[in-house]
Amino acid sequence: MAQDLKATANLHSQLATYRIREAIRRISSGKKTFYGGGASTSSAYSIAAEGAAKYGASLNLNDALAALNIAQTSLDEIANLNQRLAELGILQSNNSLLSTEDTASLNKETASITSAIDNIVSNTKYNNIALLGTSDISLSVGAGAYGGSNPLTITIGGISSIASVTAASNATSTSNTLTSTLGTNQGQVTGASTAAEARRNTNSTAAALLKSAAENIESADLAAETAKLTKNVLLNKVSLSLAAQVNNLDRSKLDLLG
């Protein structure tokens, strides 16, 4: 009877010691599982990977927004120059009141403006990638969690070269054509910026939520583990005490027999 009690006490002590070590390991590491984990760890890794992919997509979209901001700034500057080009056309229409010098001055400013517009178009770039050109510009941005899936496509219409326009007499017609082109381009850039910002925000929010979910799957409940630790420390003490009492009882019996 005493030996059975002693064996039971020792068994409970060993089990409590094992659970104490496990609780301490979870508390110190902050993780639920060890030794390669299991299904929960595999799930956490998968969710974390998806979160990382979405975070990468949000970075791509940040780049897209920066590029679109550059394109927008260039289009705004072209629009300002185009406004002056329209004014030059109106001034030139009063040609009967203009001197030869006045006409020459208007022509010179017209040539300067059309050249500047062409220069802006050819030099509007992001990371040395053209954002404006004389033909349509099409860009594809990885906006999905898995690379090429569901990309954001950006199209900015071409802006015809006007540097050859050097006479103020052609300023009005050139300005009217450019105004129509700029209206289309501004709409394309604004629409792409709105879409890029929305998808960037969606991806970054999803990335944060997925990262948190993965951490929650792997994270140990510190309060619960602390309670388990306390419980098993007490159980271990009780088991050791019981085993000691059995040992003392055995010694007493031996003393009586002696």
**Per-residue pLDDT of the chain in tens (258 residues, 90 and over written 9):** 555 555 665 666 667 676 667 766 666 666 666 555 555 667 777 888 888 889 999 999 999 999 999 999 999 999 999 999 999 999 998 778 889 999 999 999 999 999 999 999 999 999 999 999 999 999 999 887 665 578 999 999 999 999 999 999 999 999 999 999 999 999 999 999 999 999 999 999 999 998 888 777 766 555 776 777 677 677 667 666 666 665 655 555 444 445
Which two structure tokens, joined as six digits, stand for 161?
A: 């070269």
Give the percent of the chain with pLDDT over 70: 69
Distance CA(91)–CA(171), nearest Å, equals 10
Q: What is the pLDDT of residue 204?
A: 92
The string of DSSP codes covering 17-72 is HHHHHHHHHHHHH-BS--TT--HHHHHHHHHHHHHHHHHHHHHHHHHHHHHHHHHH
At how many degrees (to 10) do helices 171-218 and 100-123 cross?
20
Helix-, strand-, coil-residue percentages of the chain, each rounded to 5: 75, 5, 15
Q: What is the pLDDT of residue 254?
A: 45
Q: Is 171 helix (H, G, I), strand (E, B) or coil?
A: helix
Distance CA(163)–CA(157), nearest Å, equals 18
pLDDT tens column, 174-217: 999 999 999 999 999 999 999 999 999 999 999 999 888 877 77
Q: What is the pLDDT of residue 50?
A: 86
Element (H, E) at 107: helix 100-123
